[in-house]
């Protein structure tokens, strides 16, 4: 592997919170804010609850009981990962000394035509509206 891409061990550690070296910042920015970032985040966050809940399937019980024990917890964990994905990806960008507004870069590219159309119709947005330009909840 090249110096710009993490080794498998670095990737696993990075996936669950470890910081990568500064030489990999471009890769981190693409991973957390590029195409497929939400999908990668969801896959990473779906694995730990699966590993925690898997031993419950070794208990002697019917399929219904196994599903009743594990499905609600697993579904809740996946839904919370989806709900908090932007917050988590922003945190990871800050952790790697990158701009947290990169999370919205894809959305801005998709919506650029809408913003240009708005500016053409109604004029540029006032300076007081700058604070609404990203999706940060804080």
**C-alpha radius of gyration, the chain, whole number:** 20
Chain-centroid distance of CA 3 in Å reads 23
pLDDT tens digits for range 25-69:
999 999 999 889 999 999 999 999 999 999 999 999 999 999 999
* Region 6-23 average pLDDT: 92
Residue 92: the pLDDT is 94
**pLDDT bucket at 19, cuts 50 / 70 / 90:** very high
pLDDT of residue 135: 66
| pLDDT score, position 131 | 66
**pLDDT tens figures, 90-138:** 999 999 999 888 888 878 888 889 888 988 998 887 777 776 666 666 6
pLDDT of residue 1: 42
Q: What is the pTM of this model?
A: 0.77
Measured on CA atoms in the order 114, 120, 126, 130, is the torsion positive or negative? positive
Q: What is the pLDDT of residue 128?
A: 75
User: For residues 105 and 101, what is the distance between their CA atoms, to the nearest angstrom?
Assistant: 7
Q: Are 103 and 135 in contact (CB under 8 A)?
A: yes
């Amino acid at each position: 592997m090249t110096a710009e891409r993490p080794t498998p061990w670095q990737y696993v550690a990075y996936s669950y919170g470890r910081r990568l070296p500064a030489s990999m910042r471009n890769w981190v920015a693409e991973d957390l804010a590029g195409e497929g970032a939400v999908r990668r985040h969801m896959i990473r966050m779906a694995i730990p609850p699966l590993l925690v809940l898997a031993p419950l399937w070794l208990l002697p019980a019917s399929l219904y009981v196994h599903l009743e024990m594990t499905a609600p917890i697993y579904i809740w964990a996946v839904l919370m990962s989806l709900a908090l994905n932007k917050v988590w990806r922003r945190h990871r960008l800050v952790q790697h000394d990158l701009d947290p507004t990169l999370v919205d870069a894809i959305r801005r590219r998709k919506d650029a035509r809408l913003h240009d159309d708005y500016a053409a119709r109604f004029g540029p947005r006032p300076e007081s509206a700058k604070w609404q330009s990203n999706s940060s909840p804080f």
